[in-house]
Amino acid sequence: MIGSKISVIVWNEFQHERENPAVRAIYPEGLHATIAAALRETPALNAGALPLEIGTATLDQPEHGLDEERLAACDVLVWWGHKAHEQVSDAVVERVQRRVLEGMGLIVLHSGHFSKIFRRLLGTNCSLKWREADEKERVWVVEPSHPIAAGLGEYFELPCEEMYGERFDVPAPDETVFISWFEGGEVFRSGLCWQRGHGRIFYFRPGHEAYPTYHDASVQRVIANAVRWAAPRVRIADRCPMSPPLEKLSPKTGAFARVGIVQEKGEGK
């Protein structure tokens, strides 16, 4: 682990809460504020765990609240987006991608599956089936030994959620932590882990804005666990240097010589 704390930014479009009174009633300060407050209040399960330093950012801020300096200090970025994916600047997406490849963790929530950054890092459409019908969701813990599942039982339930169904068009995950079953019969890989470059990525399905999902203690536990799991172990900036040989190279001639490369001083094509 790097540093004496884990610096977290919770990013949110902050659109639905401003435009829809029903969503605003559930998340009066925004989804990002609810998630950030839960991260502050959810205790670590391991003694000696580093404290979390929580900040927030939203779409309408300059550079979406994710300028170079702020991202450089960020250990884990939590991302919620839905209706404004295309409004996210490509320059910011490239900046976030670079930071993940260097070691920053990324937690993508719910409809963030269609965000520019998630699709960029995974390289697929990230499409799925969906339905809004106030369905019960049962989230099964299929990898109980995984750190993200710490403190949970065999499953937990959400009384009302939006349905996401397979096929989820993502690359085969490194690990599958959760699988969801919905009242209408569908199932969905709802907790998936990848590594890209030096950074860890976790996708967590629950969290439709019309439901109080982020007030649920089990959901809060998952996100807090995921933040600690995704925290950087290294920070390595990308380089592509020309590398001199470690040992002395013997000169090559004839068929073994590269055409047009000078082998010795004064020797040419």
State percent of the chain over pLDDT 70.
94
pTM of the model: 0.92
Mean pLDDT of the chain: 94
Q: List, in sequence order, every residue forming a beta bridge with 79; answer none if it has no partner.
A: 11, 108
The whole-angstrom separation of Cα 91 and Cα 53 is: 26
Tell me whether residue 268 is in a domain. no
Say what the pLDDT of residue 2 is: 75
The answer as to whether 269 is a domain residue is no
Q: What is the pLDDT of residues 162-196, one digit of tens each?
A: 999 999 999 999 999 999 999 999 999 999 999 99
Alpha-carbon distance of 127 to 170, in angstroms, equals: 8
Residue 252 falls inside a structural domain: no
In this model, does residue 221 exceed pLDDT 50? yes
**pLDDT, average across residues 97-103:** 98
3: confidence class by pLDDT, cuts 50, 70, 90:
confident
**Domain ranges, residue 186:** 6-230
What pLDDT score was predicted for residue 154?
Answer: 98
Question: How many structural domains is the chain composed of?
Answer: 1
Residue at 263 is within a domain: no
Q: Could you read off the pLDDT of 228-261 as tens digits, one per residue? A: 999 999 999 999 999 999 999 988 776 655 665 5
Give the residue carrying structure tokens 């520019």.
116
User: Is residue 267 situated within a structural domain?
Assistant: no
Is pLDDT above 50 for 217? yes
Give the pLDDT of residue 251.
84
Closest-CA residue to 105 (of 171, 239, 202): 202
Q: Is residue 18 part of a domain?
A: yes
pLDDT score of 146 = 98
Residue 75 has pLDDT above 60, yes or no: yes
- What sign does the CA torsion over 40, 41, 42, 43 have? positive
Query: Which has the higher per-residue pLDDT, 264 or 87?
Result: 87
Does residue 269 carry a pLDDT above 80? no
Confidence at residue 227, expressed as pLDDT on a 0 to 100 scale:
98
Is 201 among the domain residues? yes
Does residue 148 register a pLDDT over 60?
A: yes
Is position 104 within any domain? yes
CATH number at residue 182: 3.40.50.880
3-state SS track over the chain:
CCCCCEEEEEEECCCHHHHCHHHHHHCCCCHHHHHHHHHHHCCCCCCCCCCEEEEEEECCCHHHHCCHHHHHCCCEEEEECCCCHHHCCHHHHHHHHHHHHHCCEEEEEHHHHHCHHHHHHHCCCCCCEEEEEEEEEEEEECCCCCHHHCCCCCEEEEEEEEEEECCCCCCCCCEEEEEEEECCCCEEEEEEEEEECCEEEEEECCCCCCCCHHHCHHHHHHHHHHHHHHCCCCCCCCCCCCCCCCCCCCCCCHHHCCCCCCCCCCCCC
